[in-house]
């Protein structure tokens, strides 16, 4: 795994880094805020999380949510959830609902639920004031002409022939734009800023465009829509936002953010834009456009496919809100772009589930084991510990009888050295049960093993011997009498490439998809899993963490693999 243009941060590095850090150290944004609260610049702070409702939220958004709502919690301030719904062509109510659900699920509460579309009237009135002050004008050129005249940062821009038209003309045209008299794309309202600025965003940016498109909230009331740069800061101002936190690519927009605010600010209060590094993660893509393409092209089964980096996908995969919040805390808030190795996210869910998930026995690739000296028709119950990390999780019973299933790869006819599992003549412990010793095997005509025969030592109940005899291996099993078949969806990383966004230009990121990211198999589980409910999580001992899928029914239980117990990818990719 390598990368040139960006730093890759591996989870081991972060953990070492965390250990060296004193806990509760402030990140750079918290430091700024603490300073401002001390000097009395603000009494309370207000932040906002401003998604555009044009897709489902992903783990990158989770970082921004944890940051913005985290500031609210830390400094006893407020945080708004604001839908940045200024582009009706890509936005839908379905996305609004999913975003609300995801923020709540992550464990945060917004103070105000806001929509930029609620400010359309105010934004329109402010635009009229700008026109009257000679700071905005209607341009009738094509978007191509406008873009050409901006030239490049090293040359001066070319002024539009409409730049200095009388403001009355612009006022009249702008009103008629609003009334629907002109076609989509025929004219725009531009701010008159600076056509020679080295910052291209300042070269008379577009404030409004005509879009004859119904909006998911305002219907057909408007056919002109404000652009992000104009709408965002003014919306912050309307809501009294003190700290408007966004990702680094908006740093170059900041002078414009401030310029628009300069036009309306009358008192001392002014929202402040602060940028931080967005989250990039290995083995996935994060742009909503690409995620939408994966959904629409059926590369995955919807936005909440357990392989997706979306919050709904992670939820279905079995991630907990705590694990995602801990992940966000660990990666911190940086000023420089970097990429975090996805194994850190996986570490965070393992760490959380180690304490939360009950252990169960499931055999994924079964082979029959017969205990030849165990009484026919006898069934006994054995005690099993639900979670050794959590005493209050208690105990359960397992049934045990003559015929069991064990994992095919827990037996080897001709074992190499240091193979401590079952092999002819070797003794192992059956988890929570007895010591068993392999006596012989039964094979079919092709020479494949179909049954393993063992004897058991009745004196070793509970997995301990009275004579001090030790066994090195412990294997899991299920009782053939009452084991239930369950469907397992074995998920792996969606991309086989660590940096699917960085493939050579002639390649599409989709070429980096992992063809083996989902395998569906049937396994045999201990009977207690019959009653498991969707979203319930378990550790299948020695195999990994699993969650009950929403598609699961008592007749056909379905489990998704959340993560294996150990990181098997780092082994593969270091080869």
**Nearest approach, Cβ of residue 382 and ligand ATP (Å):** 49
Asked if 27 is part of the footprint of ligand ATP (rule: CB under 6 A), the reply reads: no
State whether the Cα torsion 197-198-201-206 is positive or negative: positive
Size of the site for ligand ATP (CB under 6 A): 14
Binders of ligand ATP in range 451-470 (CB under 6 A): none
Laid out side by side, the sheet with 484-491 consists of: 358-360, 537-540, 544-548, 558-563, 484-491, 518-525, 362-363
For the four alpha carbons of 13, 14, 15 and 16, in that order, the dihedral sign comes to positive
> Residue 568, interface with ligand ATP (CB under 6 A)?
no
How far apart are the two ends of the chain, measured CA to CA in Å? 10
Residue 60 binding ligand ATP, by CB under 6 A: yes
Contact status: 52 vs ligand ATP (CB under 6 A) = yes
Tokens of 565: 């117990």
Per-residue exposure over 165-189, b if at least 16 CB sit within 10 Å of its own CB, e if not = eebeebbebbeebbeeebeeeebbb
243 interacts with ligand ATP by CB under 6 A = no
114 φ/ψ angles, rounded to the nearest 5 degrees: -125, 155
Q: Classify 122 as helix, strand or coil.
A: helix
Stretch that binds ligand ATP, among 56-64, 371-379, 442-450, 486-494 (CB under 6 A): 56-64
Exactly one of 278, 290, 408, 542 is catalytic; name it. Answer: 278
Q: CB nearest ligand ATP: which residue? A: 60
- The answer to whether residue 52 is catalytic is yes
Residue 367 DSSP class: E
Interaction of residue 339 with ligand ATP, rule CB under 6 A: no
Q: Give residues 288-307 in contact with ligand ATP (rule: CB under 6 A).
A: 288
Q: Which of 248-259 are b and which e, b meaning 16 or more Cβ less than 10 Å from the residue's Cβ?
A: eebeebbbbbeb
Residue 84 or residue 305: which is nearer to ligand ATP going by CB? 84
* Catalytic (active site) residue 278: yes
CB 367 within 8 A of CB 106: no
Q: Could you say which of 288, 325, 489, 496 is catalytic?
A: 288
What angle, rounded to 10 degrees, do the helices at 343-356 and 11-20 form? 70
Q: Which stretch binds ligand ATP (CB under 6 A): 46-54, 368-376, 473-481, 531-539?
A: 46-54
Q: Is 309 in the site for ligand ATP (CB under 6 A)?
A: no
Cα 372 to Cα 400, 403, 434: the distances in Å are 14, 9, 14
Stretch 192-231: interaction string toward ligand ATP, x if CB under 6 A: ----------------------------------------
544 contributes a contact to ligand ATP by CB under 6 A: no
The residue among 150 and 253 lying less far from ligand ATP, judged by its C-beta, is 253
Catalytic residue list: 52, 278, 288
**Binding region for ligand ATP (CB under 6 A):** 50-52, 60-61, 63-64, 246-247, 278-279, 286-288
């Amino acid at each position: 795994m390598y990368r040139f243009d960006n730093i890759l941060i591996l989870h081991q590095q972060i953990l070492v880094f965390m250990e060296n850090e004193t806990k509760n150290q402030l990140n750079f944004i918290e430091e700024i805020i603490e300073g401002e609260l001390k000097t009395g610049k603000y009494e309370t702070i207000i932040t906002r999380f401003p998604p555009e409702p044009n897709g489902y939220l992903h783990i990158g958004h989770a970082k921004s949510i944890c940051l913005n709502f985290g500031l609210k919690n830390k400094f006893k301030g407020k945080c708004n959830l604001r839908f940045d719904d200024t582009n009706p062509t890509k936005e839908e109510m379905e996305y609004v609902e999913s975003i609300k659900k995801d923020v709540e699920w992550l464990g945060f509460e917004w103070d105000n639920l806001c929509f930029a579309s609620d400010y359309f009237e105010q934004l329109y009135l402010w635009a009229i004031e700008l026109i009257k002050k000679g700071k905005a004008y209607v341009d009738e050129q094509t978007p191509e002409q406008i873009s050409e005249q901006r030239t490049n940062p090293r040359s001066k821009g070319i002024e539009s022939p409409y730049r200095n038209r009388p403001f009355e003309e612009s006022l009249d045209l702008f009103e008629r734009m609003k009334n629907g008299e002109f076609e989509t794309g025929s004219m725009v309202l531009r701010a008159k800023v600076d056509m020679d600025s080295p910052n291209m965003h300042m070269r008379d940016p577009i404030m409004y465009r005509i879009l004859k498109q119904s909006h998911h909230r305002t219907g057909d009331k408007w056919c002109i829509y404000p652009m992000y740069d104009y709408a965002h800061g003014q919306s912050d101002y309307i809501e009294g936002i003190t700290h408007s936190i966004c990702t680094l690519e908006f740093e170059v927009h900041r002078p414009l953010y401030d310029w628009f605010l300069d036009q309306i600010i009358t008192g001392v209060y002014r929202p402040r834009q602060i940028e931080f590094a967005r989250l990039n993660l290995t083995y996935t893509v994060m742009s909503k456009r690409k995620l939408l393409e994966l959904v629409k092209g059926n590369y995955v089964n919807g936005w909440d496919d357990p392989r997706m980096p979306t919050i709904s996908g992670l939820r279905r995969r079995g991630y907990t809100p705590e694990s995602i919040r801990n992940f966000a805390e660990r990666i911190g808030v940086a000023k420089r772009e970097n990429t975090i190795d996805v194994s850190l996210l996986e570490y965070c869910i393992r760490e959380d589930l180690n304490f939360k998930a009950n252990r169960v026995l499931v055999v994924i690739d079964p082979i029959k084991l017969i205990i030849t000296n165990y009484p026919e028709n006898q069934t006994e119950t054995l005690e099993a510990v639900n979670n050794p990390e959590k005493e209050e999780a208690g105990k359960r019973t397992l049934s045990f009888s003559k015929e069991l299933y064990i994992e095919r790869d827990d037996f080897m006819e001709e074992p190499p050295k240091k193979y401590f599992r079952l092999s002819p003549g070797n003794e192992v412990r059956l988890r929570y049960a007895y010591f068993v010793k392999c006596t012989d095997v039964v094979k079919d005509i092709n020479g494949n093993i179909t049954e393993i025969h063992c004897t058991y030592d009745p004196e070793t109940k509970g997995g301990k011997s009275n004579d001090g005899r030790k066994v090195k291996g412990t294997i899991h099993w299920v009782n053939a009498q009452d084991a239930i078949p369950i469907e397992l969806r074995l998920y792996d990383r969606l991309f086989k490439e660590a940096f699917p966004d960085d493939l050579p230009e002639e390649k599409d990121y989709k070429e980096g998809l992992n063809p083996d990211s989902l395998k569906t198999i049937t396994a045999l589980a201990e009977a207690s899993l019959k009653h498991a409910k969707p979203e319930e999580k378990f550790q299948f001992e020695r195999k990994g963490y699993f969650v009950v899928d929403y598609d699961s029914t008592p007749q056909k239980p379905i489990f998704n693999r959340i993560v294996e117990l150990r990181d098997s990818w780092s082994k593969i990719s270091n080869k």
